[in-house]
A and B are shown apart, each in its own frame.
Chain A
């Protein structure tokens, strides 16, 4: 009994907590030659508990097994990710602070919410893509996306669609969809989870989100998915068509990966990239990620860099069309 009391003694727990707080501040320096010299921080711009967050945590856990040092996820919230990106951009490029990279870099830069763009980061590895799904309430009058589009065409601006925030990928997709289909819909920004409650409560007509934020409700029969924005149908919803199948010529996904500040030694990229590849291609990750409706897809640093640049151009085009681009 005594031994157990010692382990959980308040003083000890306080000390551990203080140590944790100090390590959060990134105290201690070491040369990059022996990377990783200490724990590697993966800065996550998304809220704890969100789909993006749990994927980051799971991936970090798998990578940590081979890394020799723990990879720790830290949430840096606010301003749609601008604060997190700015923090990593300013960090010492020694490979001990990385960013959980995603489409936010494209939209933030296009809206000039950060003073830099994707060129300020060293891509390490692409991890996968996550589609955007259009949901309606179970008793909505539209059978499929075609009917939805036809109704929206006849009633411009009348259909409301929730998203997880202005300028987010879940906002970009409906904006692009509307412009391709020649319809006008009213976009309503919500926080994650709250759009779903509003949809189920009948306050909005439809909502746009990643599968992980809605698959519970789909399973429960509360909401239906009209279409997904990816190239192919996704594993968890084999019966849900893509937008292309429904006659809307759009293919646009959220993407995820890991990047470091520009100037990070090549050694870090060379060492980490294969570890990410191993993790992303492991059965454990594939099962986990596809269970959340995400599509694992490893990209090498070079391929990843090209991919991000292409998406950046597409994002700017969509935003320009919607009047969201800041010059």
Chain B
């Protein structure tokens, strides 16, 4: 048995497959670096090409794009505050601050290492526990999702640790924005004001690119009176020092595990995983107040989490044939086009494909690390390009990426509007990250809430009847009440 596995794994090392793997990983990295065009869209574009490559090489290439994009996403987050992928939004918080302090190289390198470790971890877990975990994912129905999103809102509402009230305002703004467009259950139009492009909802890419990237460009432009500080990057400063590496170990481990588990669930798993990991790192840190000022933990954890999540998301696909995310749906489509049906019998019917793809995960992750580490130096130097050249380029890239996502000019206007609002928000100390959380969780929250009530015929109790739900509600409740109680007890003890 194990010998068979090994020989199948070695399929990956056939020259054609290695090249397919490399090409996929490279395209994926570039897709990740460029804002806008996401892995799902890119994979769909490449599908016709993979048909010529045959099933194994074709799927290896598609898979390469899939996990490669998770590597690249962090690059622009760290360097210029533009998230290349939704899952890298949270990396801007500390990654960009590190870049401003001249530690861009360290942040990029740690992001690459974290991605590698988490990617490899998730393949091992995938290989060992796939069938078992797939069943667990099915325990999550609409009621459980609703409880999970509520828990997410509660735990992540204080993501940046500034003012809780302001964070909640931003989160609610995000939830409200997510309601624009056709409602997911009844099909009624909301807040679209007759604009066709708005019927499909406000583009997530447009909002994040605007709030982060465009707002940053405005900020730099507005600050032109001040001398722009360009920190000379010495070679040895390109890479993380020993202390930074040491501090990254635990966050990478926690992020890998958390991301992998979240990846099993439907919805925007990678994005949720990276946010959850950031929240977790702040929670366990001895200095939560330092987050947002360029802490390596805030880069290592989320970057590990989003890569692990993309591995976790492969489990429902490979073992149940159910795609839970847009990107795995394209992968499923690719498989069906090649005449391969994923599901419980994939391993039995086509072990060459199954192990070939798994093997390519190992190989691809290694390739990506080798590809990305030397690029760190190159990318880190980008920060030294004078802003008068760099900023227009960023603005153009943002616009192209946003337009390319749906091919709608409306999205570009939304992006510019979000940029202006984002600039004003910064001036008054409102963080855009909680808004993004609201935007991500909103649709899932609404849909699952209404589905739960439709299924139960309107019985409100159905929202918390299952044990899983009860646990999540309890945790949510505790995390609201507990800080207050602790404060109260401390005060009592102090006055005694």
Partners in one complex: yes
* B197 CB contacts on chain A under 8 angstroms: 83
* B322 CB contacts on chain A under 8 angstroms: 193, 196-197, 217
**Is B455 within 8 A of A186, CB to CB?**
yes
**B185 to A, closest residue via Cβ:** A189
Q: Let me know if B293 is at the binding interface, CB within 8 A.
A: no
- Known contacts A197-B138, A220-B345, A82 near B455 by CB under 8 Å: no
Q: Let me know if B1 is at the binding interface, CB within 8 A.
A: no
Residues of chain A in range 190-207 having any CB-CB distance to chain B below 8 Å: 190-194, 196-198, 200-204
| A51 and B332 alpha carbons, distance in the complex (Å) | 10
**Is A49 within 8 A of B403, CB to CB?**
no
Q: Let me know if A32 is at the binding interface, CB within 8 A.
A: no
Q: How many residues of A contact B (CB 8 A)?
A: 68
Among the listed B40, B266, B400, which residue makes an inter-chain contact with A194, where contact means beta carbons less than 8 Å apart? B266
Residues of chain A in range 1-32 having any CB-CB distance to chain B below 8 Å: 4, 8, 10, 13-14, 17-18, 20-21, 24-25
**Is B181 within 8 A of A78, CB to CB?**
yes
**A41 to B, closest residue via Cβ:** B407
Per-residue CB contact flags for chain B residues 338-359 toward chain A (1 = under 8 Å, else 0) read 0101111100000000000000
- Known contacts A78-B199, A200-B320, A219-B345, A54 near B333 by CB under 8 Å: yes
**Is A212 within 8 A of B199, CB to CB?**
no
**Is A77 within 8 A of B406, CB to CB?**
yes
**Is B200 within 8 A of A77, CB to CB?**
yes
Among the listed B51, B189, B321, B334, which residue makes an inter-chain contact with A216, where contact means beta carbons less than 8 Å apart? B321
- Pick out which of these stretches binds chain B: A120-128, A159-167, A247-255, A302-310: A159-167
Task: Please indicate which of the listed interface residues B23, B139, B323 has the most CB atoms of chain A within 10 Å of its own CB.
Answer: B323
Q: Let me know if A48 is at the binding interface, CB within 8 A.
A: yes
Q: Let me know if B184 is at the binding interface, CB within 8 A.
A: yes
In the complex, what's the smallest C-beta–C-beta distance from B143 to chain A, in angstroms? 8
Among the listed A49, A113, A189, which residue makes an inter-chain contact with B330, where contact means beta carbons less than 8 Å apart? A49
* A292 CB contacts on chain B under 8 angstroms: 336
In the complex, what's the smallest C-beta–C-beta distance from A117 to chain B, in angstroms? 16
**Is B142 within 8 A of A198, CB to CB?**
yes
**Is A47 within 8 A of B187, CB to CB?**
no
Per-residue CB contact flags for chain B residues 266-279 toward chain A (1 = under 8 Å, else 0) read 10000000000000
Among the listed B40, B138, B400, B403, which residue makes an inter-chain contact with A48, where contact means beta carbons less than 8 Å apart? B40
**Is A49 within 8 A of B196, CB to CB?**
no
Q: Let me know if A86 is at the binding interface, CB within 8 A.
A: yes
**Is A57 within 8 A of B48, CB to CB?**
yes
**B42 to A, closest residue via Cβ:** A17
Q: Let me know if A267 is at the binding interface, CB within 8 A.
A: no
**A111 to B, closest residue via Cβ:** B187
Q: Let me know if B124 is at the binding interface, CB within 8 A.
A: no
Q: Let me know if A140 is at the binding interface, CB within 8 A.
A: no
| A221 and B30 alpha carbons, distance in the complex (Å) | 41
- Known contacts A193-B322, A216-B343, A49 near B44 by CB under 8 Å: yes
**Is B142 within 8 A of A203, CB to CB?**
yes
Among the listed B22, B44, B181, B332, which residue makes an inter-chain contact with A79, where contact means beta carbons less than 8 Å apart? B181
Q: Let me know if B201 is at the binding interface, CB within 8 A.
A: yes
Q: Let me know if B47 is at the binding interface, CB within 8 A.
A: yes
Q: Let me know if B141 is at the binding interface, CB within 8 A.
A: yes
**Is B400 within 8 A of A78, CB to CB?**
no
**Is A48 within 8 A of B330, CB to CB?**
yes
| A8 and B30 alpha carbons, distance in the complex (Å) | 11
In the complex, what's the smallest C-beta–C-beta distance from B134 to chain A, in angstroms? 10
- Known contacts A24-B404, A48-B330, A83-B199, A165 near B187 by CB under 8 Å: yes
A-B contact pairs, 28 of them (CB 8 A): A8-B22, A14-B34, A18-B400, A21-B400, A47-B329, A48-B40, A49-B331, A49-B334, A50-B329, A57-B337, A60-B48, A76-B407, A77-B200, A78-B181, A82-B200, A160-B454, A186-B457, A188-B454, A193-B322, A197-B137, A197-B138, A201-B139, A201-B140, A203-B142, A203-B455, A204-B455, A215-B341, A220-B343
Chain B positions near chain A (C-beta within 8 angstroms): 19, 22-23, 26-27, 30-31, 34, 37, 40-41, 43-45, 47-48, 51, 137-143, 181-182, 184-187, 189, 196-197, 199-201, 266, 316, 320-324, 326, 328-334, 336-337, 339, 341-345, 400, 403-404, 406-407, 451, 454-455, 457
